[in-house]
Structure 1
Amino acid sequence: MSRTLFSFGHGYSAQALSAKLIPDGWTVFGTTRQAEKAQQFKADGVVPHLLPDDDIMEDLRSASHLLISAGPDADGDPMIGMLGDQLVRMEFEWIGYLSTTGVYGDHNGGWVDETTPLEPTTTRGKHRVLAEQQWTDLAERFGFTLHIFRLAGIYGPGRGPFSKVRSGTARRIIKENQVFSRIHVEDIARVLSGSIRHPNPGAIYNVCDDLAAPPQDVIAYAAELLGMPVPPAEAFENAEMSPMARSFYAESKRVRNDRIKEELGITLAYPDYKSGLSDLLLRMGQDASP
């Protein structure tokens, strides 16, 4: 099997995957629009392409595997918009599209799985549904080996609640029936690499841990780990928040992850936020003192 991945929109999750693949002899190409990130890619062993100036076609054609994680807009996926018909002349052993569980919309704390109808209420979720449909249409028309991964809220090294708790900016905003599903970035990489080993064209996977939880519980646990006071509770109805922050409370659901376990044989390294946060703190070399 050829071992070349082209990563379009080489962000946080894609970087976690490349960190698993490169030591196994893979070549990874990654796109970015920031020169600073391109330099970091080089340091990580990734061959960078700085958009929009770099010509990506030669490396894209040479790739056996394609990962798309660039954020869509009202026109859908930017890779499709940029390359159009050129894509249909390429052959990949595996294509992965990183979407979001936001495509399911609001279920007032109820359960969703991969068969749940897509009824997003946020603009971000609607853009993801459009991009998913664009890639699905291409896959059906041209026989692409497409796999869709709907990611829950992502956390991991450099992305966690500890800095906000330490700085005193963490907030425990309480909204009735509000729960989120989450996933550690290293478990995302575990799922993606599992799919690469066992491709199933057309498959859709929810990528989340086993414990959906209210956001205030996560903040409280982080504070306890640090040995700091738990921030006071604030009622959602009275909390001053930016429109972006408020939009994260617009949807509430619990996401089932049975398919990644049953079909891909995934055992999560961090099956809940408590195990994930405890490990993050340990890696940061910090003890429980404030």
Structure 2
Amino acid sequence: MAQMLIFGMGYAASHLADRLRARGWEVTGTTRDGRAGSIAFADETAVLAALRRATHILSSVPPVDDDDPVLSRYGEAIALAPATWTGYLSSTGVYGDADGAWVDESAPVRGRRAGRNAADAAWRALRGDSHVFRLPGIYGPGRSILDRIQQGRAHRIDLPRQVFSRIHVDDIAGGIIASFRGPAGVYNLADDEPCHQNRLVEWGCTLLGAPLPPLQTLDEAGLSPAARAFYAENRRVANGRAKRLLGWAPKYPTFREGLANTG
């Protein structure tokens, strides 16, 4: 039986786990506290035993400051594990600001977060079967602009040249599953239509019959530092490599189809 060990059962990883279990896979995941159905990350005996059984290993755990906790604690064991496939969920943030230009996997890694850049490189080098998935903004059921509109937290920001890419959580799972039979390497998983964040807000308001938020400057919107950082980078993410080498294509190629399927 195919067995997946997932470090970090977050939003995207949990969605993948559900897809795999529906296909008959055995999936084991780690969490900080070892909540029901998972292994505590610090339980080395259980984690090492799971590594010995796993046919596939995935980490969705982001670096903390400049340290990747999975590699720091279990990197040597992962490198020596008998699995035939290894994956890591990275971020398109490793590309940094591209001033709205397209970036593919050949673009230099120059993101603002040194720890994320280093983790991306370390997972690429860890094993010959390593698959690194660089992801833009993730959305899906319970986590989309529709939720923010309904909660009164959506903003329209007056930055006309800002553009970004995104990916539906279903398409992350689809890309990972497609890679099980594809070559190792780095893959951008993004939809086909990068656009301004305001277009998502406007489309979401149309779907919900909600009024548009006012157009504001960043200062007027009173955004958190993390939210402001989103607008500090501007790029379009190309997904052609995953299409060519994995035979993958997004089920939701634009935000319009994706937002219609977040319920």
One of 165, 177, 183 as aligned partner of 1:200: 183
User: Helix, strand or coil: the match of 2:30?
Assistant: strand
- CA offsets 1:252-284 (integer angstroms, 9 cap, x no match): 00010111111111132100001111222xx3x
Match of 1:6 in 2: 5
Match of 1:219 in 2: 201
Match of 2:157 in 1: 173
TM-score w.r.t. the length of structure 2 is 0.94
Task: Name the % identity.
Answer: 40
One of 238, 241, 244 as aligned partner of 1:256: 238
Uncovered stretches (5+) of structure 1, i.e. residues with no partner: 43-47, 284-290
Map of 1:2-41 to 2, 5 A cutoff? 2-34=1-33, 38-39=35-36
Cα distance change, pair 130–224 in 1 and its aligned pair in 2 (3 A): same
Map of 1:220-259 to 2, 5 A cutoff? 220-236=202-218, 238-259=220-241
**Contact 2:252 2:258 survives alignment (8 Å):** yes
Cα distance change, pair 137–265 in 1 and its aligned pair in 2 (3 A): closer
**Contact 1:5 1:27 survives alignment (8 Å):** yes
Match of 1:76 in 2: 67
One of 49, 52, 62 as aligned partner of 1:61: 52
- CA offsets 1:170-210 (integer angstroms, 9 cap, x no match): 111121311110000000000000001x1312x11000000
Q: Distance in 2 between matches of 1:160 and 1:172?
A: 15
Q: Distance in 1 between matches of 2:152 and 2:59?
A: 36
Q: Distance in 2 between matches of 1:165 and 1:87?
A: 42
Query: Across the two proteins, how many residue pairs are aligned to each other?
Result: 262
**Contact 1:152 1:207 survives alignment (8 Å):** yes
Moved over 4 A (4+): none
**Contact 1:92 1:145 survives alignment (8 Å):** no
TM-score w.r.t. the length of structure 1 is 0.85
**Contact 1:94 1:199 survives alignment (8 Å):** no
Map of 1:143-162 to 2, 5 A cutoff? 144-162=128-146
User: Helix, strand or coil: the match of 1:92?
Assistant: coil
Residue identity in the other structure for 2:129: T
Q: Distance in 1 between matches of 2:76 and 2:151?
A: 49
Q: Distance in 2 between matches of 1:267 and 1:88?
A: 30
Uncovered stretches (5+) of structure 2, i.e. residues with no partner: none
**Contact 1:104 1:119 survives alignment (8 Å):** yes
Cα distance change, pair 220–69 in 1 and its aligned pair in 2 (3 A): same
